[in-house]
Structure 1
């Protein structure tokens, strides 16, 4: 499988899982376009990617800015959405609904808005790969909002796969992954002890799933779980 001569747009592609996906796609011959809200993060990412890569700072919750971004782009083959922010656990008894709304703004509505703006630019044979999470299948205390976002994205993937056909729409469902969104090392240590694989995920582990789904021309409406066995224990 190869992405040779294909164009891949990765929203959230300047750090963590998104940047690892950009590197892997580029290694398979793709031209990658990355975007995230932090200009410095974009610059750092482009310093590590091939010269063919490009990127820009983009507020993914700004509908007009996202629409303008895709209007400027030439047609491309794959859209990947990995954008996120540090997760905040919200307990129901002390729920701040403003925080709950804000959590959905990027991870759900940001993804939906990006797909809406991008669809007309995706070339035949292309795909969309979104991001959900294992919390949707096995949440813990304080995870009601995060788990709800994951469940909403799971349903969105299946609905879009039908509505946007023949564009393929899939998602990756990571467990705990060592990225800047999880800066507390103690989380990794505690989690690793309970996982069947004995460790938490690394960005490269998860990136392989995004690239697989871009290459896999017979998969649509599919959610690939890469969680180290989290849902089993």
Structure 2
């Protein structure tokens, strides 16, 4: 834990939904390093167990299907009051040409990333202490899409609009979205190799 200056997260309770791998886990580690007490949540017990091996002693993990409202509601009843909510949950994002789009796969992705975020805020916001915040995650493809990313771009744009609306709805709770660029996490690695390398090769010209 950092001691060179007093951190605004020192002694705060931070909930990270999807905080067991990739961007979410790195965020959890950074918050813990600033003195926060962190709780990570995933639908996968193995991921929770793995995350807790790299997080400081005292960190906690819970299992919940973040696409299931009843489980999300029960989760926040267990957690109780806290200071900051971070939503980074999301499964593999698949690129697709429109004629080849699997609508059911797209619906599942949207359910977790968009409706999951809404359910988390709906049931989590009443537990946020004064001075607390909500942070959602979106992506650069929402602003600068490329071929094959229309589902991803649509979700990112929807989350951007959701963030603005929730900031009005929940004031004075702060609501922001982190618009992440491409980060080499397990999510990126889950893409087929040729697709991943082509995507990375086009970043310089597209962005």
1:129–1:171 contact (8 Å) kept in structure 2: yes
Residue in 1 that maps onto 2:175? 169
Secondary structure of the corresponding residue to residue 109 of structure 1: helix
**Pairwise mapping of residues 1-233 of structure 1 onto structure 2 (< 5 A)?**
1-183=7-189, 184=192, 190=198, 195=203, 233=207
Which stretch shows the higher mean deviation, 46-55 or 123-132? 46-55
Q: Compute the displacement of 1:176 (Å).
A: 1.5
TM-score when normalising by structure 1: 0.80
Contact (CA 8 Å) 1:176, 1:188: kept in 2 or not? no
Task: Sort the Cα spacing of 1:190 and 1:89 in 2 relative to 1 into closer, same or farther, 3 A.
Answer: closer
Question: Could you say what secondary structure the match of 1:148 adopts?
Answer: helix
Distance 1:178 1:8 in 2: 24
- TM-aligned CA deviation for residue 96 of structure 1: 2.4
Contact 1:34/1:54 (8 A) holds in 2: yes
- Supply the distance in 2 between the matched residues of 1:86 and 1:74 (Cα, whole angstroms): 30
SS of the equivalent of 1:29 reads coil
1:166, 1:7 → 2: CA distance?
18
Q: By how many angstroms is 1:36 displaced?
A: 0.6
Task: Write the distance in 1 (CA, Å) between the matches of 2:16 and 2:47.
Answer: 14
- The size of the alignment, in residue pairs, is 199
The alpha-carbon deviation at position 19 of structure 1 amounts to 0.6
Aligned CA RMSD, in angstroms, stands at 1.8
Task: Decide which moves more: 138-147 or 13-22.
Answer: 138-147
CA–CA distance in 2 between the matches of 1:186 and 1:93?
A: 20
Give 3-state SS (helix, strand or coil) of 1:158's partner: helix
Structure 2 unaligned runs (5+)? 1-6
User: What SS does structure 1 have at the residue aligned with 2:85?
Assistant: strand
Q: How has the CA–CA distance of structure 1 residues 134 and 122 changed in structure 2, closer, same or farther, with 3 Å as cutoff?
A: same
Q: Is the 8 A contact 1:178 1:188 kept in 2?
A: no
Higher relative contact order (CA closer than 8 Å, sequence separation 6+): 1
Displacement over 6 Å in runs of 4+: none
Shift of 1:103: 1.6
Unaligned runs of 5+ in 1: 197-229
Distance 1:187 1:176 in 2: 14
In 2, the alpha carbon distance for the partners of 1:194 and 1:182 equals 14
Deviation at 1:193, TM superposition (A): 5.0
Q: TM-score, normalised on structure 2?
A: 0.90
